[in-house]
Structure 1
Amino acid sequence: MRYVGDIATTDSYKISLYTWNEKYIVKIEAGPYEQMYKVNQLDFWGDEAALREIFADEVFLKSVFARFQQMHSDFNDVLTRFDLV
């Protein structure tokens, strides 16, 4: 996997762009959690700018971060059930 660059970085999250096996891989990290999206490079004809625009979309990012909150909640729930917190 080859690192291409960051799409966005804030105190709350980091979005990185990679290429591998004719795919763009977008990794979004927030604390101990991450989400990855694999996108066929041919769908974007090598246009990284378009991909960067999509992954900077506010509506999409709100959904992504809601998913991070759900991941955190799910993990805390299981830790509580096993008396680990």
Structure 2
Amino acid sequence: MRYIKDIEHTQLKISLFSWNSKYIVKIEAGPYEQTYKVAEFDVTGPEEVERMISDAFVASVLARFQQMDADWTAAMESYL
């Protein structure tokens, strides 16, 4: 996997990679991560992938991280 760049964000670590003819967007928040893949032939380049990371997209990602945390917390509580 080839690292391309980090995409600036105040709350999240967002990294862009290229691997196996795909761009991979890896988004991390604390112990959780989300990964999104797009075929290289579906976009004009990494700049277009970066433009796809809109405020609306990030809001959905943050909400998903909150749900992931709630799910994990519930799983831990039911286990202990």
Shorter-normalised TM-score: what interval?
Answer: over 0.9
Partner of 1:69: 66
RMSD: 0.9
Aligned-pair identity (%): 49
Deviating above 6 A after TM superposition, structure 1's stretches of 4 or more consecutive aligned residues are none
Q: SS of 2:62's equivalent? A: helix
Equivalent AA in structure 2 for residue 62 of structure 1: A
Aligned pairs for 1:26-65 (under 5 A) are 26-45=25-44, 47-55=45-53, 57-65=54-62
| Structure 1 alignment gaps of length 5 or more | none
Deviations 1:32-80 (A, max 9, x none): 00000010000113x211110111x011110011000000000000000
Size of the aligned set, in residue pairs, is 80
